[in-house]
């Protein structure tokens, strides 16, 4: 050990410096921090990294918000953001984001400060058993030793060990050697002094330190045989029939889809554009959820719910090929639960899809050479075209408006005024948001009634979409969108991040609206469809079973929150719009910061 020469030195600080410096060298560009005493060494090291421009630092007072902000960054960049928090309940508040990261395959680093082992289980303040808290969800976890030396040169065994921990954690979060990216947990117990002066080497890490000798570290890997960890290469199909896909695992042998079985491709959440490519290669109809990232192309099926209920189409499906995690329709669930349908599902990051008890989970797909069943595809495409709904507002009668004849001009004026004043409903709302969003933008759907409306009516369009459908919870929607927006802002990307939520999802994550004045405002629009309660329950069986009083009390959850005052309290620009024309204007006006657009809706 090199004797330190600093006025105030702390083993916790030197270990934190080694850990964070290596994470930054590996590619971490974002750290999300919730302040706390036990984590102060990590926090001060992160502040120094921000000052030097090495990272973007996001400070959030609520750990649940912090976790979902980091999740959003990982969603957009596919590089893990690090979350730092103090001990105790702070750690438990990261669990919702960790669960979503696990089920959606999002890289995430959880760095949780802790009391030293001798204080566990003896009634010490803010102390619980943090090691293993995320065990069912994480790709790796480690309860690191308590730092006990200071290190002016950065070459101690302790520093090497913490750099090695960073490398192991970063690789595991990206899914290296595993089947999917996901969350990683490093538990970091510290003794006092909890903070000191940062070592000089932290400001200018050398190449020797960055690539130095690695220590053996006892990280706990997830059991590779545990099916809850199954995930596979995203389909990256070739350009024509018979060309196999390129798997992320070069040794994965593709499952070959052979024969002329009547096939549909199902694209669930996060399926990506590979689903559209697979449908094109195989000549199969594409049923793509609005959150799939695959809702585009010539073979997209419009009105798929109705067509799956049709005995001449959905009733004749012999094989369903599934990419992503389908969650939005009962019709798809019914199809995938049918024991007479062969289900071939690409492995995802969570549990293997097996609703009918005989589904085949595969790591890669290829399409056998052969003729396309054009009769089958044609039947679906013909039925699909009949179900395209033109949601565009009616075009003005230009000739009538310019006419000097009152009999022609007045009706045209009346029709134009009526169109401008037409009240908004859910269909018009989702259509307006969809039309305003383009490839340079990002659209985040909350798990509200609105995402199901969008899935039912919206046409195909190659728009980058995010949605936390791994567990389909309403938690963290706004925070996730903030992470997406922050990631794009750091790289100088153009465009707006829009998040479409219902009122209860908005209120559930209202703490995410709190932004430190020292951080630059991202370009973000939060569009709230406010029907003053959980109207999604109106369409469930319980609505016909429960009494109106009980239904309202424990399910519908009526609320009268003043969203305008919430916006004012948190310093957001606010608009309430009640017509399509006003909504179109609000969505397409230049966005310079944070905006809330409230759209009142009828129940």
Q: Is the pLDDT of residue 94 over 50?
A: yes
E strand spans, 300-379? 319-323, 342-346, 360-362, 365-367
Classify residue 413: in a domain, yes or no. yes
Q: Give the total number of structural domains in the chain.
A: 4
pLDDT, position 203: 84
Per-residue CA distances from 349 to 125, 166, 287, 335, 543 (Å): 36, 22, 21, 22, 34
Mean pLDDT over 575-590 rounds to 94
Asked if 496 contacts 524 with a C-beta cutoff of 8 angstroms, the reply is yes
Residues 381 and 409 in one domain: no
Mean pLDDT over the full length of the chain: 89
Distance (Å, whole) CA 439 – CA 301: 21
Residues 562 and 573 in one domain: yes
| Burial annotation 206-240 (CB, 10 A radius, 16+ → b, else e) | eeebeebeeeebebeebeeeeeebbbbbbbbbeee
Distance (Å, whole) CA 132 – CA 213: 28
| Of 575 and 229, the one with more pLDDT | 575
Mean pLDDT over 532-538 rounds to 88
Task: State percent of the chain over pLDDT 70.
Answer: 91
Q: Which two tokens stand for residue 75?
A: 């969603």
pLDDT band for position 514 (50/70/90)? very high
Classify residue 220: in a domain, yes or no. no
Q: Is the pLDDT of residue 564 over 60?
A: yes
Give the pairing of strands 497-502 and 524-530: parallel
Residues 236 and 365 in one domain: yes
Range of the domain at 122: 11-209
Residues 240 and 345 in one domain: yes
Residues 338 and 408 in one domain: no
Mean pLDDT over 587-592 rounds to 89
Of 129, 60, 128, 63, give the one whose Cα is nearest residue 97.
63
Residues 78 and 193 in one domain: yes
What tens digit of pLDDT does each residue of 167-198 get?
A: 999 999 999 999 899 999 999 999 999 999 99
Q: Which residue has the tokens 């049709």?
A: 310
Residues 596 and 472 in one domain: yes
Residues 48 and 97 in one domain: yes
Q: Is the pLDDT of residue 6 over 80?
A: no
Residues 52 and 106 in one domain: yes
Classify residue 82: in a domain, yes or no. yes
Distance (Å, whole) CA 131 – CA 116: 12
Classify residue 65: in a domain, yes or no. yes
Q: Is the pLDDT of residue 39 over 60?
A: yes
What count of residues does the chain have?
603
Q: Which two tokens stand for residue 357?
A: 């008890």
Read off the DSSP letter of residue 297: S
Classify residue 131: in a domain, yes or no. yes
Read off φ and ψ for residue 257, nearest 5 degrees.
Answer: -85, 105
Of 501, 504, 466, 468, give the one whose Cα is nearest residue 485.
466
Classify residue 344: in a domain, yes or no. yes
Residues 165 and 68 in one domain: yes
Residues 24 and 117 in one domain: yes
Q: Which two tokens stand for residue 270?
A: 């996060």
Residues 405 and 452 in one domain: no
Q: Is the pLDDT of residue 446 over 90?
A: yes
Classify residue 219: in a domain, yes or no. no
Distance (Å, whole) CA 360 – CA 352: 9
Classify residue 363: in a domain, yes or no. yes
| Domain end (from 421, 439, 465) | 421
What tens digit of pLDDT does each residue of 370-402 get?
A: 889 999 999 999 999 999 987 777 777 777 777
């Amino acid at each position: 050990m090199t004797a330190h020469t600093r006025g105030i030195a702390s083993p916790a600080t030197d270990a934190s410096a080694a850990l964070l410096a290596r994470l930054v060298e590996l590619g971490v560009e974002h750290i999300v921090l919730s302040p706390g005493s036990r984590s102060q060494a990590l926090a001060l090291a992160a502040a120094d990294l921000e000052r030097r421009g090495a990272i973007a630092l996001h400070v959030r007072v609520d750990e649940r918000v912090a976790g979902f902000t980091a999740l959003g960054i990982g969603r957009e960049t596919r590089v893990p953001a690090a979350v730092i928090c103090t001990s105790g309940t702070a750690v438990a508040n990261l669990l919702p984001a960790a669960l979503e990261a696990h089920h959606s395959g999002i890289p995430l680093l959880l760095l949780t400060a802790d009391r030293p082992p001798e204080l566990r289980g003896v009634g010490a303040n803010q102390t619980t058993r943090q090691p293993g808290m995320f065990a069912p969800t994480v790709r790796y976890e480690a309860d690191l030793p308590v730092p006990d030396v200071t290190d002016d040169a950065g070459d101690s065994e302790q520093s090497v060990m913490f750099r090695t921990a960073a490398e192991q954690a970063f690789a595991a979060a990206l899914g290296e050697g595993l089947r999917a990216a996901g969350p990683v947990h490093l538990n970091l117990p510290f003794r006092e002094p909890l903070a000191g002066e940062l070592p000089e080497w932290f400001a200018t890490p050398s190449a020797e330190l960055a690539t130095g000798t690695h220590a053996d570290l006892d990280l706990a890997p997830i059991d590779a045989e545990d099916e809850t960890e199954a995930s596979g290469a995203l389909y990256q199909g070739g350009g024509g029939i018979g060309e196999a896909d390129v798997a992320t695992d070069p040794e994965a042998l593709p499952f070959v889809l052979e024969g002329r079985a009547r096939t549909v491709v199902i694209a669930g959440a996060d399926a990506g554009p590979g689903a559209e490519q697979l449908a094109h290669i195989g000549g199969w109809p594409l049923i793509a959820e609005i959150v799939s990232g695959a809702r585009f192309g010539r073979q997209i099926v419009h009105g798929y719910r109705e067509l799956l209920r049709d005995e001449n189409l959905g009733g004749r499906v012999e094989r369903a090929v599934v990419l992503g995690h389908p969650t939005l329709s009962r019709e798809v669930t019914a199809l995938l639960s049918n024991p007479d349908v062969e289900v071939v599902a690409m492995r995802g990051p969570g549990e293997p899809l097996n609703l009918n008890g005989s589904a085949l989970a595969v790591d890669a797909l290829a399409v056998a050479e052969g003729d396309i069943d054009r009769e089958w595809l044609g039947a679906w495409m013909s039925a699909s075209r009949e179900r395209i709904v033109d949601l565009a507002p009616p075009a003005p009668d230009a000739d009538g408006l310019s006419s000097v004849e009152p009999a022609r001009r007045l009706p045209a004026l009346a029709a134009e005024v009526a169109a401008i004043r037409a009240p908004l409903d859910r269909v018009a709302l989702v259509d307006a948001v969809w039309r305003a969003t383009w490839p340079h933008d990002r659209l985040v759907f909350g798990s509200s009634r609105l995402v199901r409306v969008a899935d039912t009516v919206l046409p195909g369009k190659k728009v980058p979409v995010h949605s936390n459908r791994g567990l389909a919870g309403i938690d963290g929607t706004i925070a996730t969108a903030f992470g997406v927006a922050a990631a794009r802002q750091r790289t100088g990307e153009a465009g707006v991040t829009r998040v479409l939520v219902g009122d209860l999802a908005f209120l559930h994550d209202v703490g995410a609206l709190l932004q430190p004045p020292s951080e630059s405002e991202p370009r973000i629009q939060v569009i709230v469809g406010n029907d003053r309660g959980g109207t999604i329950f109106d369409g469930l069986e319980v609505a016909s079973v429960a009494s109106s009083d009980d239904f309202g009390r424990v399910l519908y959850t009526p609320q009268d929150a003043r969203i305008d005052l919430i916006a004012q309290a948190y310093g957001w620009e606010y608009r309430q719009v009640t017509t399509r024309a006003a909504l179109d204007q609000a969505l397409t006006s230049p966005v310079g910061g944070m905006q809330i657009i409230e759209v009142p809706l009828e129940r």
